[in-house]
Amino acid sequence: MVSKTDVIMAYRLLLGREPENDDVVTGKAAHFDSLEHLRSDFIESAEFRQMLQVPTMRPGDPGVKPLSWPPADVEVSVSPEILRRMVLRIEGEFLDLGATEPHWSVLTSERYRAKNIRDNETEFYASGGEAISQFQVAAARCGLDLSSYKSCFELGCGVGRITLWLARLFPAVTGADISVNHIDLARAAAERAGTTNISFLNINKIEQYETLPPFDVFLSLIVLQHNPPPLMAFILEAILTKLSPGGAAYFQIPTHLTNYSFRAADYVESPPMVGNAEVHCIPQAVLFEIIRRAGCEVLEIREDSSLGSNAISNRLLLRKSPR
CATH 3.40.50.150 domain extents, the chain: 80-320
**Mean pLDDT of all residues in the chain?**
91
State residue 139's pLDDT score: 97
Q: How far apart are CA 255 and CA 284, in angstroms?
A: 5
Cβ atoms of 177 and 222 within 8 Å: the answer is no
State residue 63's pLDDT score: 62
State residue 32's pLDDT score: 75
- What is the C-alpha end-to-end distance of the chain, expressed in Å? 55
Least Cα distance to 199 among 245, 241, 243, 152 occurs for 152
Cβ atoms of 130 and 20 within 8 Å: the answer is yes
State residue 50's pLDDT score: 62
β-strand partners of 96: none
88, burial (CB in 10 Å: exposed 0-12, middle 13-18, buried 19+):
middle
pLDDT tens digits, one per residue of 49-60: 666 654 444 444
Rg (the chain; Cα; Å): 19
Q: What is the arithmetic mean of pLDDT over 305-315?
A: 90
Q: How far apart are CA 191 and CA 291, in angstroms?
A: 36
Q: What is the arithmetic mean of pLDDT over 180-209?
A: 97
286 contacts: CB under 8 Å, gap ≥ 6: 74, 76, 229, 233
State residue 124's pLDDT score: 94
DSSP-H helix ranges across 243-305: 264-269, 284-293
pLDDT tens digits, one per residue of 236-272: 999 999 999 999 999 999 999 999 999 999 999 999 9
Cβ atoms of 174 and 198 within 8 Å: the answer is yes
Max intra-chain CA distance, the chain: 56
State residue 60's pLDDT score: 45
* Share above pLDDT 70 across residues of the chain, in percent, rounded to a whole number: 94
DSSP-H helix ranges across the chain: 4-10, 22-31, 35-43, 46-53, 80-100, 117-126, 128-141, 163-169, 180-193, 206-210, 229-242, 264-269, 284-293
Q: How far apart are CA 203 and CA 175, in angstroms?
A: 10
For the chain, helix, strand, coil in percent to 5 are: 45, 20, 35
Sign of CA dihedral 242, 247, 253, 256: positive
pLDDT tens digits, one per residue of 69-103: 999 999 999 999 999 999 999 999 999 999 999 99
Which segment, 30-34, 39-43, 112-116, is predicted with the most confidence on average? 112-116
Q: 80-320 has which fold? A: Rossmann fold (3.40.50)
pLDDT band at 312 (very low <50, low <70, confident <90, very high): very high
Q: What is the arithmetic mean of pLDDT over 62-75?
A: 85
Q: How far apart are CA 315 and CA 308, in angstroms?
A: 14
Residue 18 or residue 174, greater confidence: 174
Q: What are phi and psi of 74, to 5 degrees?
A: -125, 115
Half-sphere exposure for 280 (CA within 13 Å, toward CB): 23
Q: What is the arithmetic mean of pLDDT over 33-37?
A: 76
Least Cα distance to 178 among 153, 154, 202 occurs for 202
Q: How many CB atoms lie within 10 A of CB 54?
A: 8
pLDDT tens digits, one per residue of 102-160: 999 999 889 999 999 999 999 999 999 999 999 999 999 999 999 999 999 999 999 99
Q: What is the arithmetic mean of pLDDT over 41-54?
A: 68
Q: What is the arithmetic mean of pLDDT over 308-322?
A: 94
